[in-house]
Amino acid sequence: MTPSNKFHLPTLSRQSHLTAMLLTSILAVVLGSLQIGYHTGNVNAPGKIIEEFFNHTWRARHNQSMPDHSLTLLWSLSVSIKDLGALLGTLGVKYLADSYGRRNSILIVNCLSVVGACLMSASKASKSFEVLILGRLVFGLFCGLVMSLNPLYIQEVSPTNLRGAFATLNQVSFASGILVGMVASLETVLGTEHYWAMMLSLSLIPALAQYLVLPFCPESPRYLLINRGEESNAEAALLRLRGSTDKVFAELKEMKEEAAHAESGVTTREFFKKRSYKQPIIIVLVVNLGSQLSGFNAIINYSTRMFQAKFDQAKYLTLGVGAVNVTFTLVAFFLMERAGRKRLLLTGFISIAVCNLLMTIVDSVLHLVPELRSLQVLLVFCLISAYELGPGPISWFIAAELFDQPGRPIAMAFTSMLNWGGKFVLALLFPPLLKVCGVYIYLLFMTVALLAFIFTWIRLPETKGRTFDDIAEEFRGAEGIPLHNKAGFNTFT
């Protein structure tokens, strides 16, 4: 397996020993991100209906309507509380991943999704908007945990030359969930006064499906060998995933080499003080904040309201946003092992910057030339495409490639914290910022994208086709760690 291997779907099985068990394991895991996408996409179109539910509940309690500014604030809180919950959820990633394993942790946190969906759907029957907000908070805890655990598991079970492509499937599933949520929330489907509560419960289907499939999939061999020191169990898990004894021995050897170069388990404090981690931490920080604060999330959360002022069928244009989103995550899936992470990130960031600049110009003259509104929609679609081509999927998994085994769970928690923190801040601040800055808000997004582009160009190493140990070695010199340990390999418990 060499870095020069190209990703061709028709010959995937022959080149990379793609087995049914490997594919099943990855598809079972990404059912979690499907649920997250669903609850990201389904709050957009029926916003006014759910706001009316808030108002009706308030009127029944206090014999008066809720003030408009309070209603707007409560709706913004309802949208953004999921991201706040996700931010809090990231704090448990290291403990769960290292204590219970990657697969088992995903199964454990799935119960939060079930509880959250039940609370959200019960809000109407209980006549309590607080129950809806609590449900989104609990579901948010699930989001923060699973969007760290999923890439961690996928990266550790995938063969090196397909690692990035398979990690991108997490984003494909997330984007697909957004589209399904958008469709389900249409007035012609379930986004009505009578059925919106049922719509919020549909994420229970993939949650229960994951409980039926994932327990029969193997644990991460890397976790079993390096963290637990269980070589025989790691070998058995790897054999189930690869189906080839030759491949198993080669990968076991590579894992042992990685373990030999690594130190003992890393605490959160040591993670941020360790010299060899400083450059990867800065890279993860810039890539993730660049992705989250460049405008994509504002468009996903508020696209219906953005289009409403200009189009009668705004909800269907929002559906187009979801369709473009899915299409370009699939494009990224096929390009990830051909173009590489760095090239896709650079293409994505510079394209996002250009789209934001053009959106500023178009919005500024829209009142003079109303015919340009179609161009505005095209620019929104282009920005979504640019995001999903690189920054979207890569920002979620790049940390897993830049850090060694002991630092990887904390790195993924850090990634999730940055992603969800960025989403939360943007969801909360975009409406008031839009009122203050008007169309010039896109210039802020453009600046963020340009800064991320420049930094990525200068500092990010290409990780395509390289083993974890090879990537970690690039940063290891800063710590003065010897590259070979003849005494054997360490285990981390």
pLDDT in tens, 265-275: 788 899 999 99
Band (101; pLDDT cuts 50, 70, 90)? very high
Which pLDDT does position 130 carry in this prediction? Answer: 93
Query: What's the CA gap between 202 and 462, in Å, rounded?
Result: 40
Mean pLDDT within 399-412 = 93
Q: What is the pTM of this model?
A: 0.87
Query: What's the CA gap between 394 and 341, in Å, rounded?
Result: 7
Mean pLDDT rounded to a whole number for the chain: 86
pLDDT score of 137 more than 60: yes
Which pLDDT does position 322 carry in this prediction? Answer: 84
The owner of tokens 């697969």 is 103
pLDDT score of 305 more than 80: no
Question: Coil, strand or helix: which one is 67?
Answer: coil
Query: What's the CA gap between 473 and 475, in Å, rounded?
Result: 5
The count of C-alpha atoms lying within 13 angstroms of the C-alpha of 254, restricted to the half-sphere facing its C-beta, is 21
Band (479; pLDDT cuts 50, 70, 90)? low
Q: What is the pLDDT of residues 340-376, one digit of tens each?
A: 999 999 999 999 999 999 989 988 887 788 778 788 8
Closest among 330, 371, 341 to 457, alpha carbons compared:
341
Residue 421 neighbours by CB under 8 Å, 6+ apart: 83, 87, 292
- Among the residue ranges 95-109, 334-348, 441-455, 474-488, the one predicted with the least confidence is 474-488
| 368: number of Cβ within 10 Å | 7
Q: What is the pLDDT of residues 108-117, one digit of tens each?
A: 999 999 999 9
Mean pLDDT within 51-65 = 89
pLDDT score of 314 more than 70: no
pLDDT score of 410 more than 60: yes
Closest among 55, 126, 151, 40 to 85, alpha carbons compared:
40
Which pLDDT does position 12 carry in this prediction? Answer: 43
Band (2; pLDDT cuts 50, 70, 90)? very low
Query: What's the CA gap between 417 and 83, in Å, rounded?
Result: 10
Which pLDDT does position 300 carry in this prediction? Answer: 65
Which pLDDT does position 492 carry in this prediction? Answer: 36
Is residue 237 a contact partner of residue 221, using CB atoms and an 8 Å limit? Answer: yes
